[in-house]
Structure 1
Amino acid sequence: MDLKGQLLEWIERDRDELIDFVCRFVRAKSPNPPGDTTEAVKVVTDFLGAKGVPFRLVDPQPTMANIVGTFEGGAPGRHLVLNGHIDVFPVDETEEWTHGPWSGAVADGKIWGRGIADMKCGTSASIFTYCYLHRLREHLKGKLTLTAVSDEETFGPWGARYLMEHHRDEVLGDCCLNGEPSGPVTLRFGEKGPLWIKFTVRTPGAHGSYTHLSPSATKIAAKLIHDLEAVTEIPTPGTPDIERALTEGEAAIERALGKGASKTLQRVTLNIGRINGGLKVNMIPGLCEFEADFRLPVGYAKEHILPKIREIAARYPEVTMEEINYSEAKACDPFGEMAQIIQQNVEALRGFKPTPIISMGGSDARLWRQRGVPAYIYGPYPYGMGQKDEYVDVEDFLHVVRTHVLSAFDYLSRG
């Protein structure tokens, strides 16, 4: 039996163990905010310890530890980094789930619970890949590193960003493989860039019947929000390779991300994620704050839209604005080596080639791309991501594991 066949045999033999692990991983609550991943980190470290693989904790915040492990192959070669996150979206406890959000239940051929899609399925694939390839390390060329981080959901500073800033030589590598939800029919080679801006509206305020004494901060905010939609009409540039990939992948994009997604990927979008204003129904609000989430397509930087945003905000002297987050949109080669390796393995496993596309949401993969390292995402469908009844099909979970294990092996076998 060849080594890839051996890997597939091990995965099939360990099927129940893999499913049991990911279910326990889901049951270990790790919502961010508040960001305490201690219980989930222990599930992972206990597993790695039992497998006898090297790892250590990097914990600038003790309740949000990052797990980093590295081993060398039997010959010199390239450095592949596996990346996934441990923290998950919080849960609205008033929502009724078919199976509890922290149940990790297996029912109807699915694994249920908060974070199974985003992204404990994909992080588990990274963990299993690291463990399986450690057994065959003498047959590999180069080095394999695992990074399972605890601060991704809020673009926080204590996860992959911290590793890049303080342990760059250990975690940068030559290529990154990530298991964020993508849908098995697509693989992600880039993502849009978030620009988050907080707008504050201040007026004197007054009694609700004395509208002649003060403008309403909430009314001004409503008008400003309406006007900001003009930013989404700014024409955006493209690059030939990305335009080709998105054009060829339109059907897969629509299937994975919903109807209309192919056009959304290529334009600026605006979401008002939070708004707060007013104290009482019969008082004219003197303060209103809202946070705007602009998403920029690849090839577009914040400098392309900030002048328009400032020009719109300047129409309202009561308004101030503050940038609270920005990450440049980046992509790597949609037809690069790892993309082709993933496609070949998926075709052998499932009979189709996943289509290279851009992600609309953010991920830690951007941190590698921003530093010139190709980073690819291949994971499950995002069923229920950020909603109730999040789940992943059991067979899709195992398929993602197989794809990551085989693709990492192929990359490190070529040297």
Structure 2
Amino acid sequence: MNDTKQQLLDWIEQDRDTLIGFLQEFLRCKTPNPPGNTVSGARFVSTFLESLGLPFKTIAPNREMPNIIAATQFGPGRHLVLNGHMDVFPVGPESDWTRDPWGGELIDGRIYGRGACDMKCGTTASIFTYVYLNRLAEQLKGKLTLTVVSDEETFGEWGTRYLMEHHLDEVLGDCCLNGEPSSLHTVRFGEKGPLWLTVKVSTPGGHGAYVHTSPNAIAIAAEIMTELLRLGELPVREAPALKAALDEATDAIEQAYGKGAAKTIRSVTVNLGTIKGGAKVNMIASDCEFEVDLRVPNGLSRQELLAKADEIIGRYPEASYVVQGGNEPNWCDPDADMYAYVQANAEMITGIRPAKVVSPGGTDARLWRMRHVPAIVYGPSPATMGKPDEFVTVEEFLAVVKTHVLSAYDYLTAATH
């Protein structure tokens, strides 16, 4: 390790309390999505950048969902984009929490709060990576851009999607580094694609004692759901490089995401999310509606899966469906040099060499991959993501910060195209 990288690590250690305090204050900014108002989070980040004299601009096509972009051109070379989001999952019933979901409490080496791991830890890593590398401007090549965005949790239109559609030249770059929760055991080079459907079943209905007079909408919905669940058996055609990487990472995937995760990542999954129907116990249900979350693995297309779902639902004349949303599965070259930087730096810092994997869930990183730009995700454990008492450990948080800072440094000092 050279002297400059050691200097970066020394700065982070010296700023340990500052970093922890920053994340605690960030967690105290209430930014649940829905509803999606991130003004307090954006104000907090903006004030911090202003205090350091780092220029930035705010882009807010929706005034309740501002996005922050800061950029520094160090010289000729590659363009690295740091990406993180401010919005977080809703808290849910606060009675389920034993800690204040907006308290940012530090207890026994854990920092608690909604967004602690998803993803204010990773976003903080992006912000401080930008800060530290700006101190080394004369030693770096290329360009570094920080994007702190809104509207990620619902795949909404006002965050990174908006920046990609209206400010592409500023935010696309040559590589993206993102701190979404991945666990220290893995670094992500792709993700599955969500396909969300709403299915409705309508029948004449009638009295529950006269079941011969009408089909039951709930019973038909149950048959459709049973058939949809069998989509998990569909064959998947993985590209050789994808297959090789995932074969090698099987043990790390199970360690990071739990037993069974290796299969989940590489197959269609079907989650029946909501269901409602019927009016009364002694009436034939005349209506039933349910939502299903299908996840498309790499090696199968969204259109192929949708065709299978259409075939199933089409067999029932009483049923119809609409597509809520979703996108294609995506992956990028697992041999892109940023992966090597992240793996080497993470191993040096934590003793764990993260395996290259595909994510079961979706992130904004997909928007770079879909434009053929490598997007690398390395962040804390996702174990408490979206759950009551969400937390990140201090040591894991600092490991993510250190890995991002050193890997960004490596990228911006390496030989360029």
TM-score > 0.5 by shorter chain: yes
Q: Which residue number corresponds to residue 8 of structure 2?
A: 7
Q: Which residue number corresponds to residue 82 of structure 2?
A: 82
Cα separation, 1, equivalents of 2:352 and 2:108? 25
Alpha-carbon offset, residue 204 of structure 1: 1.9
Q: Quick one: which amino acid aligns to residue 372 of structure 1?
A: H
Q: Secondary structure at the match of 2:294?
A: strand
1:364 aligns with 2:364: yes
Cα separation, 2, equivalents of 1:87 and 1:101? 14
Q: Which residue number corresponds to residue 267 of structure 1?
A: 267
What are the equivalent positions in structure 2 for 1:44-193 lying under 5 Å apart? 44-73=45-74, 75-193=75-193
User: Structure 2 vs 1, CA of residues 282 and 36 (structure 1 numbering), >3 Å: closer, same or farther?
Assistant: farther
Are 1:192 and 1:359, in contact at CA under 8 Å, matched by a contact in 2? yes
Q: Which residue number corresponds to residue 22 of structure 2?
A: 21
- Identical counterparts, % of pairs: 56
Alpha-carbon offset, residue 274 of structure 1: 1.8
Cα separation, 2, equivalents of 1:396 and 1:325? 33
Are 2:61 and 2:158, in contact at CA under 8 Å, matched by a contact in 1? yes
1:40-80 deviations in Å (ceiling 9; x for gaps): 1111111111111121111111111111111111x200000
Cα separation, 1, equivalents of 2:113 and 2:94? 15
Q: Secondary structure at the match of 1:76?
A: coil
Alpha-carbon offset, residue 300 of structure 1: 1.4
Question: Structure 1 regions of 5+ residues with no counterpart?
Answer: none
Are 2:257 and 2:383, in contact at CA under 8 Å, matched by a contact in 1? no
Cα separation, 1, equivalents of 2:78 and 2:99? 43
Q: Quick one: which amino acid aligns to residue 241 of structure 1?
A: A
Question: Structure 2 regions of 5+ residues with no counterpart?
Answer: none
Q: Secondary structure at the match of 1:127?
A: helix
Q: Quick one: which amino acid aligns to residue 40 of structure 2?
A: E
1:264-308 deviations in Å (ceiling 9; x for gaps): 111111111122222333433322211111111112112222222
Write out the 4+ residue segments of structure 1 that deviate beyond 6 Å after TM superposition.
none
Q: TM-score, normalised by structure 1?
A: 0.97
Q: Which residue number corresponds to residue 406 of structure 2?
A: 406
Are 1:95 and 1:388, in contact at CA under 8 Å, matched by a contact in 2? no
Cα separation, 2, equivalents of 1:29 and 1:285? 41
Q: Which residue number corresponds to residue 33 of structure 1?
A: 34
1:82-103 deviations in Å (ceiling 9; x for gaps): 0111101111125432212111
Q: Secondary structure at the match of 1:294?
A: strand
Q: Secondary structure at the match of 2:96?
A: coil
Cα separation, 2, equivalents of 1:78 and 1:358? 25
Q: Quick one: which amino acid aligns to residue 215 of structure 2?
A: P
Alpha-carbon offset, residue 313 of structure 1: 0.8
Cα separation, 1, equivalents of 2:58 and 2:195? 31
Q: Which residue number corresponds to residue 283 of structure 1?
A: 283
Alpha-carbon offset, residue 384 of structure 1: 1.2
Q: Which moved more, 1:319-328 or 1:298-307?
A: 298-307
1:240 aligns with 2:240: yes
Q: Secondary structure at the match of 2:275?
A: strand
Are 2:209 and 2:282, in contact at CA under 8 Å, matched by a contact in 1? yes
Cα separation, 1, equivalents of 2:79 and 2:253? 30
Q: Quick one: which amino acid aligns to residue 307 of structure 1?
A: A
Cα separation, 1, equivalents of 2:278 and 2:170? 49
Q: Quick one: which amino acid aligns to residue 254 of structure 2?
A: E
1:383 aligns with 2:383: yes
Q: Quick one: which amino acid aligns to residue 221 of structure 1?
A: A
Q: Quick one: which amino acid aligns to residue 230 of structure 1?
A: R
Are 2:121 and 2:397, in contact at CA under 8 Å, matched by a contact in 1? yes
Cα separation, 1, equivalents of 2:237 and 2:9? 43
Cα separation, 2, equivalents of 1:108 and 1:246? 35
Are 1:192 and 1:360, in contact at CA under 8 Å, matched by a contact in 2? yes
Cα separation, 2, equivalents of 1:207 and 1:162? 51
Q: Which moved more, 1:5-14 or 1:356-365?
A: 5-14
Q: Quick one: which amino acid aligns to residue 82 of structure 1?
A: L
Q: Which moved more, 1:3-12 or 1:165-174?
A: 3-12
Cα separation, 2, equivalents of 1:236 and 1:365? 23
1:183-235 deviations in Å (ceiling 9; x for gaps): 11110000011111111111123344443332222221111101112221110
Q: Secondary structure at the match of 1:99?
A: coil
1:238-280 deviations in Å (ceiling 9; x for gaps): 1111111111111110000100111111111111112222233
Q: TM-score, normalised by structure 2?
A: 0.97
1:336-380 deviations in Å (ceiling 9; x for gaps): 200001111112212231110110000000000000000000000
Aligned length: 414
User: Structure 2 vs 1, CA of residues 401 and 202 (structure 1 numbering), >3 Å: closer, same or farther?
Assistant: same
Are 2:42 and 2:66, in contact at CA under 8 Å, matched by a contact in 1? yes
Cα separation, 1, equivalents of 2:280 and 2:43? 46
Are 1:199 and 1:319, in contact at CA under 8 Å, matched by a contact in 2? yes
Cα separation, 2, equivalents of 1:174 and 1:307? 35
